[in-house]
Chains A and B, each alone.
Chain A
Amino acid sequence: MTTDIVLNIVLLSLMAITGLAIARLRNLFPVAMLTGLYSLLSASLFTLLDAVDVALTEAAVGAGVTTVLFLATFGLTRAREKPVARSRTVIGLVVTVLTGAALFYASLDMPHFGDRNTPVQDHPLRERYLSTVNEEIDVPNTVTAVLGSYRGYDTLGEVTVILTAGIGVLMLLGVAWRRPDKRKESDR
């Protein structure tokens, strides 16, 4: 139990430090790598918090696909950020601190982390999903059962969203591919 708490604190602190470094750095290639590190830390945290499917997805998507896409974008545009004006930074900090303070004040009302009797855990849906999965679907992985069967409409919408994103990117960037050797032949 204590190792869990210690690991929890260590991982969250590392995530906060990485987040600060991402915000401060102006050379964008290290920022892409740090984003990959941030995703990996959050995937480890998800494993610690018993969300194994989410951890698998976050590790594959965050540390894999998103990092590659960011690096490809930096290769196509500049890889250095221009410094921001002082006034803009100060206003941004003020707004951020005010919002953070409001959220902190609201968080004091929240039930403690890991508590058994919270409104989230007391909701009847939890018992419904965990107990009737055996009778209705007989599939041990409750997350897949809920995702595919109980909440199938949401999953259909999500697949459509990713297909739409693919179509959008193809429309924006997809042009006919010309093989490199064909161009050299026409030059001769």
Chain B
Amino acid sequence: MREHTVLRVITKLLIAPIIIFALYVQFHGDYSPGGGFQAGVVFAAAIILYALIFGLAEARRAVSPDVLRITAALGVLLFAGTGVYAMLEGGNFLDYDYLAHDAIHGQQYGLLLVEFGVGLTVVSTITSIFYVFAGRGRRTNEHET
């Protein structure tokens, strides 16, 4: 993509706003349309855009697949961990009322944590899937040449 100057320049300008938008959608999911899934997919779209324009090797260096493997599991752990913590505090599994001093505050903390876990897993999974699909052809070509 070295000769497509317009694409490279526009991508460089756009990736930061896309990531900011993803974070906005994640943390404002309580007040406007949004939430974990939407934020995760938009963030993954930013990484995919970078990989498409600047090359897969560059993207892998920026967002390493080993880190992604860890964060994918970390998201689910955060979600289930919030539920278990609520159990330890005396409530049922995923009963957010017990997470703070007040039921309403507990619910809001619970929602924030849970949605963040969801967003983390979604980013990691979708980016890992894209890396694996895009890197497949390269590997078979290397074996053939």
Contacts and interface: CB of A to CB of B under 8 A. Distances in A.
Direct touch of chains A and B (CB < 8 A): yes
Nearest to A175: B139
Main secondary structure on chain A at its contact with chain B?
helix
B23 interface: no
A42 to B, nearest CB: 15
Q: Give the interface size class of chain A.
A: 35 or more
Nearest to A172: B132
B70 interface: no
Nearest to B140: A76
Interface string A151-188: 01101100110110110011001110111100100000
Nearest to A69: B133
A90 interface: no
Contacts of A147: 35
B94 A166 contact: no
Interface residues of B, number: 56
Interface string B76-89: 10011001000000
B16 interface: no
Given A139-B111, A177-B60, A180-B57, A156 B33 contact: no
Contact of B108 (A53, A64, A76, A138): A138
| Residue in B32, B76, B110, B111 with the greatest tally of chain A CB atoms within 10 Å | B111
B142 A180 contact: yes
Contacts of A61: 41
A163 B126 CA distance: 9
Contacts of A174: 128, 132
24 contacts: A53-B33, A55-B33, A57-B37, A60-B38, A64-B48, A65-B48, A73-B133, A136-B107, A137-B108, A144-B35, A149-B107, A152-B83, A159-B117, A159-B118, A162-B121, A162-B122, A163-B73, A163-B76, A169-B128, A169-B132, A170-B69, A170-B129, A173-B132, A179-B57
Question: Which 9 pairs from chain A and chain B are nearest by CB?
Answer: A166-B125, A60-B41, A52-B33, A72-B133, A152-B94, A137-B107, A148-B111, A173-B132, A139-B30
